Structure 1
């Protein structure tokens, strides 16, 4: 027997975009159901970086105290070690107060926080372990989704269906919106290293001889990502674990004392890096946001934050429409087009910046970014040019191209808690 639920909005996917949109719609009194494929939010590879743009929204939601109770690392400055030379690459202290740093928090903790806050709204419902298998149609109009749960099939009927189910979105595939794929020359291997006994300055990345190692400081360990050539993981494994560890030692000598903690390929996961964007973000009765609309590269760690910005823009535009009594599908569809118009440009610009960075780091192992010691020209650039562009980089990474704010009528009175 098929269980049925009727709601105003059904959101497929409980990631940053889906949970933030569900929270905001619930706060605004809009009936919303969020379907999350897994039984919990714990996934080892999910972005950790919570940028100032997102922290501003956490403050707007009035959940900063709850956020602060979750273990996290906060860095006002992001350093990179390039060919053995430490650079103060990004300094968020140039941004307006109060949020002038980047926060590293496991994404599952952030999602648990958003879900807990959303549950305070009686119009919000979260269904875990509900794997969306397809959409339902009336003619050319989407009317909801089908999902598989441990108890059997679930049909959710909705006036609006939102695809927030990631880069491999089932809903996006069903909508057949067309996807533009942008070639990326790298993939990412993902693993943990213990923190060295001797303190190591917090460092976002190491670059040497064409190798790039990302090091994200989590409370008890370093979450690391080593860039490899696209589709090259089988070659990396064929070379052996000793060669993999040696490569880490070469690019980040200060981590040499802990790299022997990698003993098996079972400790190393592969992220296939991709950049893509749907040609249309919506069709009758359905909208794509977050990775379902645009897969982002790990460059600058903007994925979470752009997904959240999508959700806020969608809530700001949709809530006034969904609150109107007797509003028809045509009015909702017009609002969906407005969401795309607002978010397409900042997404496209950030993806173009990411592709430029990929072009630089994809040049190969012979690439020299800085000489050691630096040449006269490089020293002048470090001393004179970098301080000038550092605030611009902080603004680009911290806020993106169009940071969103939650409208007052979306927040409601509970937004001041």
Structure 2
């Protein structure tokens, strides 16, 4: 793990990116390839975090190819998910989404530790002369001149503080974005019936490696995600149940897991305490306005997504590509305007609204009734239809894997793979 922090004494970037997640790292790389002086701030010393979104979708895999990084990515540890399947009452399964039906270069979802992907993007960025990555540097506030944002105040891991000025600041600092809050931008929140709890159990040789497999009983369900050496589990229950789960203790939680996934009976002891179960407070929200003068929000800072469908990372990356495509020339020319920032929102707002609308529909029609104990799984007519017309499985696969408005690398960012 490269924990290097790049700093230049003459640093005065044209664009300052707050947050080193997928959106921030993709944006930083693309702008640097356009010749824009860009600095990315990441508050941690590395990218190692458990249970970050580790899905790399077909559209992102194609983007990596366009950036000349596909071969490097292929060498990272990963598993491939080709189907979304659901168990049926007769002991069989029905395929809800089949990525193999997609006519794309990579008809699967790659499950790769997010820190490996972010390290790959960071290494690519460091090869660009106008790119700076500052690790262990946390934004503490915005700098303003009148009504315009002019950069940020920051604090480093050793307690040193400073200011960094830029023509444009882009908030990629997640669903609890400090930059967004300081700018006075407030998201519209939508009701959500679920929370999620993440944990892992050992993977055995007989585990099916290529399918994303939900399991359900009345009141809760789980999505099993195969990784190289373990099964990552997203346990979904009703909103606000975390205090109750923790009060019941790890033994009761293990029993709940075994009831949901009986084949885990011989491996739930891997959960030593409730500290091994990480809670995600699920939110669905979005900004109606994504910018103020001198600052733009993208990714989770602009729109928090439900984990249903696992599309949050895909949307964040697409936001970053759109932002780089639309803003590179104005940033190079020193002419970036409020209209340019509004253009990013205009391009990405409809896909955001449509995806969130679909997630909210699934919350009402499927997820909500399930966690409320009113239904053990998808409606029987839906399962019967997909079983009778398996070609319909391409529709969920496309919505999850490609999205409603896929973005492609702009010409200035495209590269062919380096040959050794």
TM-score range, shorter chain: over 0.9
Q: Which residue of 2 aligns with 1:194?
A: 202
* CA-to-aligned-CA distance 1:316-337 (integer Å, 9 cap, x gap): 000121222xx33xx4321100
2 CA distance for matches of 1:77 and 1:361? 20
Contact 2:16–2:169 (CA<8 Å) still a contact in 1?
yes
Alignment check: 8 A CA contact 1:5 1:155 kept? no
| C-alpha distance in 1 between matches for 2:396 and 2:17 | 34
Aligned counterparts, 1:276-291, within 5 A = 276-291=285-300
Provide the secondary structure at the position in 2 that maps to 1:299: coil
Q: Distance in 2 between matches of 1:93 and 1:114?
A: 27
CA deviation string 1:349-403 (max 9, x = no partner): 10111111222212212313369xx7xx677424324x14211111111111111
Distance 1:172 1:378, change over 3 A: closer
* Counterpart Cα distance in 1 of 2:164 and 2:383: 61
Q: Aligned residue for 2:340? A: 335
CA distance in structure 2 between the partners assigned to 1:178 and 1:260 by the alignment? 43
Quick check: 1:58 aligned with 2:64?
Answer: yes
Identify which of 126, 145, 150 aligns with 1:143. 150
Question: Displacement of 1:287 after TM fit?
Answer: 0.2
Distance 1:370 1:302 in 2: 20
Are 2:42 and 1:39 equivalent residues in the alignment?
A: no
Question: For residues 36 and 191 of structure 1, what CA distance do their matches in structure 2 show?
Answer: 25
**Number of residues paired by the alignment?**
404
Q: Given the superposition, is the C-alpha separation of residues 301 and 32 from structure 1 closer, same or farther in structure 2, using an over 3 Å criterion?
A: same
Distance 1:238 1:5, change over 3 A: same
Q: 2:26 aligns with which of 20, 29, 35?
A: 20
1:113 aligns with 2:136: no
User: 2:352, 2:368 → 1: CA distance?
Assistant: 22
Q: Secondary structure at the match of 2:337?
A: helix
Residue by residue, what CA displacement relative to the aligned partner does 1:124-169 show, whole Å, maximum 9, x if unpaired?
Answer: 0000001101110110001001110034112110000000001111
Task: Give the distance between the partners of 1:163 and 1:415, measured in 2 at CA.
Answer: 30
Match for residue 71 of structure 1? Answer: 77
Q: Give the Å deviation of 1:415.
A: 5.2
Partner Cα separation in structure 2 for residue 168 and residue 97 of structure 1? 34
Is contact 1:50-1:102 (8 Å) kept? yes
CA contact 2:299–2:317 (8 Å) conserved in 1:
yes
Q: Deviations over 1:290-314 (max 9, x none)?
A: 1010111111111111110000000
Alignment of 1:313 with 2:322, yes or no, is yes
> Contact 2:96–2:386 at 8 Å: present in 1 too?
no
In the alignment, the residues of structure 1 paired with residue 409 and residue 399 of structure 2 have an alpha-carbon distance, to the nearest angstrom, of 20
Residue 416 of structure 1: CA displacement? 5.9
**Aligned-residue RMSD, C-alpha:** 1.9
Cα shift at 1:78: 2.4
Unmatched segments (≥5 aa) in structure 1: none
Task: Write out per-residue CA displacement over residues 99-147 of structure 1, whole angstroms, 9 at most, x where no aligned residue.
Answer: 1111101111111111111110010000000110111011000100111
Which of 62-71 and 235-244 deviates more? Answer: 235-244
Match of 1:102 in 2: 109
Tell me which moved more, 118-127 or 83-92: 83-92
2:304 is paired with a residue whose SS is coil
Hey, what's the Cα distance between the residues in 2 that align with 1:415 and 1:406? Answer: 12
Aligned to 1:213: 222
Q: Give the corresponding residue for 1:355.
A: 360
Equivalent residues in 2 for 1:149-228, closer than 5 Å: 149-151=156-158, 152-196=160-204, 198-200=206-208, 202-228=211-237
Match of 1:299 in 2: 308
What residue in structure 1 maps to residue 238 of structure 2?
229
What residue is the counterpart of 1:30 in the other structure? 36
**Which residue number corresponds to residue 402 of structure 1?**
405
Gaps of 5+ in 2: 1-8
Change over 3 Å in CA distance of 1:100–1:146 after alignment to 2: same
Q: Is the 8 A contact 1:185 1:229 kept in 2?
A: yes
Q: Are the structure 2 counterparts of residues 378 and 400 from structure 1 closer, same or farther at C-alpha, using a change threshold of 3 Å? A: closer
Q: 1:394 to 1:95 in 2, by over 3 A?
A: same
Contact persistence 2:216–2:376 (CA under 8 A) = no
- Quote the Cα distance in structure 2 between the aligned partners of 1:306 and 1:98: 19
SS across alignment from 1:362: helix
